Amino acid sequence: MSEIPWLTIVGLGEDAPEGLSRASLAALETAEIVMGPPRHLSLLPDVDAEQVAWPVPFADGIARLIALRGRRVVVLASGDPFWFGAGSSITQHLEPDEWVALPSPSTFSLLAARMGWPLEQTKCFGLHAAPFTRLRPELACGVRMIVLLREGAAVHALAAYLCESGFEDSLLTVFEAVGGSRARQTRAVASVLPEVDFTHPVCVALEVSGQGAVLPRASGRPDIWFGNDGQMTKRPVRALTLSALAPRPFEHLWDIGGGSGSIGIEWLLTDVSLSVTCIEPREDRAARIVQNAATLGVDRLHVVQGVAPDALEGMTRPDVVFIGGGLSLALLEWLEVHLPAGTRIVANAVTLESEALLAQTHARLGGDLLRIELAQAAPLGKLRGWKSSYPVVQWSAVL
């Protein structure tokens, strides 16, 4: 029989201790130390273990917990510790045989059961420490969401955000202390949410409704979604560029010459596992990239203000590189020398000089060379004609 782990992570419901499993009760009875937030500690049955309040900020408690290695420790968490909970934040610092988890039903499961919603078709968000804009890519009529919130005041802030986004007709069902003796439920439309002092812990079941703009799923979102000063990869070229970049789960992108950040933002909208670093030399554009990313719910985008290739030194190596601005021979040579084989590169060029550089690079390194010529119907006197955009040359290759 394998040795019993020194750490047990116990998920609590609001009705603890009545709702604790036998395994959870046994872990608490044999524990030397119990760590958890004060609210969770207050829900405990009588135990002999020393009780230690988990510090704020949360990260400060990790070192304190690890220092207890070798003693019998129980850490308390809410519901299922591995669904927007503390579980993974703790276990990433431990070996697999050092811990065991005993979850309770998650808040998501409890709310779905009360609402009668199929959980696999319901969007689930933990916004304890994240902005409401994380919801933006999912806001569309008919979408159902379960949203965990940090505090009672956040319910009114969520309703205000929905109204600002044009979804003021959304139906909110607010749950306080769900599953516990203090449980309370309030149902209202976002635009007429009553002035109730909601109390923690609080969460919302949300049915989205209204006339707000819906962010399309396909790459090449309309340009209007991106604040810009004219320096931006336009929608049709952006769609072709994202196709060439071909994002895959867990990949990291360097977006060199970020401009408005539209390429990096659309890269992140593809999958939550993706990451990106935008390199932009101008301070005003770097700030605009940050704002655009936050507005569209991908605030995990990282911006570095600087000029490539100098700004690339010491950065996390990418799986994919996009060059939308600042193309030069020095940059291409740096990438070829410093990046490993298998790195994908996509570069767009508009000027004759940069086009010639890509043609030479294609002849030397291979890959695909594409010339994109677009024209849009526009007034021509009393009639209409084709107004051509500058042609774009796109080179894509694998080192």
Domains (ranges, CATH) in the chain?
Answer: 7-105 (3.40.1010.10), 108-207 (3.30.950.10), 223-398 (3.40.50.150)
For residue 179, the model assigns a pLDDT of 82
**Is residue 24's pLDDT more than 50?**
yes
For residue 45, the model assigns a pLDDT of 81
Q: How long a stretch of residues is the chain? A: 399
For residue 181, the model assigns a pLDDT of 80
SS3 215: coil
Q: Given the structure tokens 């298998």, which residue do they identify?
A: 342
Kindly report the pTM of this predicted structure.
0.91
pLDDT one-digit tens code per residue, 329-383: 999 999 999 999 999 999 999 999 999 999 999 999 999 999 999 999 999 999 9
Answer for the pair 277, 252: CB distance below 8 angstroms, yes or no.
yes
| Euclidean distance between CA atoms 129 and 399, whole angstroms | 39
For residue 332, the model assigns a pLDDT of 97
For residue 232, the model assigns a pLDDT of 87
The dihedral formed by the CA atoms of 234, 236, 242 and 245, expressed in degrees to the nearest 10: -90
Mean pLDDT throughout 212-238? 94
Diameter over CA atoms, the chain: 88
Q: Which residues pair with 66 in a beta bridge?
A: none
| Euclidean distance between CA atoms 316 and 254, whole angstroms | 9
For residue 288, the model assigns a pLDDT of 97
Q: Is the dihedral of CA 244, 249, 251, 256 positive or negative?
A: positive
For residue 230, the model assigns a pLDDT of 84
**Is residue 226's pLDDT more than 90?**
yes
Of 47 and 124, the one with more pLDDT: 124
Q: List the one residue out of 163, 9, 36 whose CA is nearest residue 93.
A: 9
| Euclidean distance between CA atoms 66 and 60, whole angstroms | 11
| Euclidean distance between CA atoms 339 and 222, whole angstroms | 33
Which amino acid would we find at residue 198? F
For residue 274, the model assigns a pLDDT of 98
Answer for the pair 362, 389: CB distance below 8 angstroms, yes or no.
no
Mean pLDDT throughout 57-73? 93
Q: List the one residue out of 47, 53, 58 whose CA is nearest residue 24.
A: 47
| Euclidean distance between CA atoms 114 and 339, whole angstroms | 52
Answer for the pair 185, 205: CB distance below 8 angstroms, yes or no.
no
pLDDT one-digit tens code per residue, 78-92: 899 999 889 999 999
For residue 85, the model assigns a pLDDT of 86
pLDDT averaged over every residue in the chain: 94
**Is residue 43's pLDDT more than 80?**
yes
| Euclidean distance between CA atoms 74 and 324, whole angstroms | 51
**Is residue 2's pLDDT more than 60?**
no
Q: Residue 164 has which token pair?
A: 């600002």
**Based on C-alpha coordinates, what's the Rg of the chain?**
26
